[in-house]
């Protein structure tokens, strides 16, 4: 006869109610923390080729399902499978507490594993967080990049690749060697690293180069020297030291660029000749224009191009910026 202690040790197999008319129970997670879910076998078979095959007579699980025995999914995260099943059964109601980036990645992993990516497409925008409200920690944005890639959602993928390039300084090369990073191609992480570096190098070059219309003979042009000095002081006051720009996030650099003051004139500084180009300051590109240019360049990646290994020749699901 089983004692009370033995009973307490037994896994809880009471099914949660996902579908009131459910005809099969999924036992999800390790035996010491298993969760039972009552679901619809016809519905899962309809939306997933994986479950269609699993429930067939070819597999032991199919025979168990036919006789009413539970199907064990021991390697999966229970919360992720619960969320997946609720969405597929149209029972998911977003609460006031959003899913964390780890939970969204776990959801993406089980959806990819069980071939349920397409049926989730219409629900993803309501459960994934927006960007621009706050800057998420690097690991959260990395989780969201992975999740949107696995869920094959191009607009979410563009959104989160833009955020991770623009708002962080952590090396993507280190991320690529992690367990989470290895779920995506190494080429993706290298592309993100290259995109961020290229923009920061461009900003540094633009800020440290001579102004448009600068004199080609600055060593003999007092006006050119005065403009260069004013520009240098301007950058120091804004906290934009050329040697430090590449170690800061693009968002931070763009915010500092907003503090730069236009160098309009340097009264009393004589040009080297009457035709010196420094007299045409109106031709210079303003700092606001420069900041807008690099902000525009900092777009996310095209998921279809990434998966195709390059330009997808007009077959992409969203327009390129």
Domain boundaries, the chain: 1-98
In angstroms, the CA 147 to CA 55 distance is 27
- Backbone φ and ψ for 24, nearest 5 degrees, come out as -150, 145
Looking at the DSSP bridge assignments, the partners of residue 38 are: 17, 25
Q: Which residues of the chain have pLDDT under 50?
A: 1-2, 4, 6-14, 210-213, 282-284
In angstroms, the CA 101 to CA 107 distance is 10
pLDDT at position 96, please? 62
pLDDT at position 265, please? 55
pLDDT at position 147, please? 95
Which pTM does this prediction carry?
Answer: 0.82
In angstroms, the CA 118 to CA 90 distance is 14
pLDDT at position 284, please? 46
Q: 81: closest CA among 97, 92, 66, 95?
A: 92
DSSP code at position 25:
E
How many CA atoms, within 13 angstroms, populate the side-chain half-sphere of residue 130? 3
In angstroms, the CA 285 to CA 288 distance is 8
Cβ-based neighbours of 265, under 8 Å, separated by 6 or more: 281
C-alpha 68: how far from its chain's center? 42
Cβ-based neighbours of 15, under 8 Å, separated by 6 or more: 22, 25, 36, 37, 38
pLDDT at position 243, please? 80
pLDDT at position 87, please? 93
In angstroms, the CA 31 to CA 13 distance is 10
Whether CATH 3.40.50.300 fits 1-98: no
Over residues 214-253, the pLDDT tens digits come to: 676 766 677 677 777 777 888 888 888 878 888 899 999 9
């Amino acid at each position: 006869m089983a004692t009370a202690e033995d009973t307490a040790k037994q896994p809880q197999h009471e099914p949660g109610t996902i579908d009131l008319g459910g005809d099969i129970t999924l036992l999800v997670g390790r035996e010491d923390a298993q969760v039972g879910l009552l679901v619809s076998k016809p519905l899962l078979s309809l939306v997933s080729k994986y479950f269609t095959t699993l429930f067939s007579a070819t597999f032991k699980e199919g025979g168990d399902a036919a006789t009413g025995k539970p199907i064990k999914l021991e390697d999966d995260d229970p919360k992720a499978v619960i969320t997946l099943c609720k969405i597929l059964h149209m029972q998911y109601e977003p609460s006031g507490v959003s899913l964390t980036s780890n939970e969204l990645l776990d959801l993406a992993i089980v959806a990819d594993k069980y071939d349920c990516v397409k049926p989730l497409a219409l629900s993803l925008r309501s459960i994934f967080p927006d960007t621009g409200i706050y800057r998420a920690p690097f690991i959260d944005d990395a989780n969201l990049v992975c999740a949107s890639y696995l869920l094959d959602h191009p607009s979410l993928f563009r959104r989160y690749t833009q955020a991770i390039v623009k708002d962080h300084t952590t090396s993507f090369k280190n991320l690529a060697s992690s367990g989470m990073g290895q779920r995506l191609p190494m080429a993706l992480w290298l592309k993100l690293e290259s995109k961020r570096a290229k923009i920061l190098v461009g900003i540094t070059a633009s800020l440290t180069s001579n102004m448009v219309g600068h004199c080609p003979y600055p060593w003999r042009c007092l006006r050119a020297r005065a403009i260069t000095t004013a520009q240098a002081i301007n950058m120091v006051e804004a906290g934009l030291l050329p040697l430090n720009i590449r170690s800061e996030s693009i968002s931070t650099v763009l915010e500092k660029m907003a503090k730069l003051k236009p160098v309009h004139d340097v009264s009393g500084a004589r040009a080297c000749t009457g035709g010196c180009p420094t007299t045409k300051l109106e031709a210079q590109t303003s700092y606001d224009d420069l900041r807008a240019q690099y902000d525009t360049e900092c777009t996310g990646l095209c998921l279809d191009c990434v998966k195709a290994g390059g330009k997808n020749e007009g077959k992409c699901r969203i327009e390129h910026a």
